[in-house]
A = this chain, B = another copy of it.
Amino acid sequence: MPDGVEKKPSRIQQRNRRRILDAALDVFSKHGYRGATLDQIAEAAGLSKPNILYYFDGKEEIHLTLLNQLMETWLDPLVTLDPKGDPLEEILGYVQRKLDMARDLPRESRLFAGEILQGAPRMAPHLVADLQPLFDEKCSVIKAWMDQGALAAVDPRHLIFSIWATTQHYADFDAQVRVLLRDDPQGHESAGQYLRTMFTRLLTP
């Protein structure tokens, strides 16, 4: 067998690794890295603690695996931003995709937020290697749209920040939003409408 090629994992391996990662996402996103314990993860996964350590080398490796998997999902909506599409529609579509992610993947959003909040100790390399180039590229795309007059001119970097901030806010600050909206079931739709209005008024030339 060639070097570096691992034999494919058994069905049990796949199932249990998936279980563990799902349980860990739950626990890490709720309590943060330090706040999460292997016992909690084990219980949530329905496995014993030593059994978990049979599948992963340790707590840190589980966390790191989650972060690595997350990066791809996280960047995807921005990757999709199409330089050849209609500028305003592209931006609004991006906002919508991010908002949908905040609703559908709140655990992932909070895992990410917690990591950045603490200074990105485990993710800094990813930010530089993956996020930064993509960010720069899409800033250029937006800049070009503005230069050709298809969008009103603003700083593209801060535009992207404001899209991230406003959409992720609904996942990351959910506890606060719930209190203030009194669990309004229309919350998500009204947020979508507001953000569409906001970025339309900002960017319409």
Report A's interface with B, CB cutoff 8 A: 30-35, 110, 113-114, 116-120, 124, 127-128, 131-132, 135, 152, 154-155, 157-159, 161-162, 164-166, 168-170, 172-173, 175-177, 179-181, 190-191, 193-195, 197-198, 201-202
Contacts and interface: CB of A to CB of B under 8 A. Distances in A.
Chain B CB within 10 A, most for which of A31, A131, A159, A173:
A173
Contact of A202 (B135, B161, B191, B201): B201
Given A157-B181, A202-B197, A117 B117 contact: yes
A131 B179 contact: yes
A104 to B, nearest CB: 18
Nearest to A193: B155
Contacts of A172: 113, 116-117
B194 A154 contact: yes
A31 B157 CA distance: 28
A103 B114 CA distance: 19
- State the 10 A-B residue pairs at the shortest beta-carbon distance, nearest first: A34-B35, A165-B169, A158-B194, A120-B175, A165-B165, A127-B179, A32-B32, A119-B175, A165-B166, A162-B166
B127 A176 contact: yes
Given A116-B175, A161-B169, A190 B155 contact: yes
12 contacts: A32-B117, A34-B35, A113-B117, A113-B173, A116-B172, A132-B180, A155-B194, A158-B191, A161-B169, A164-B173, A165-B173, A198-B202
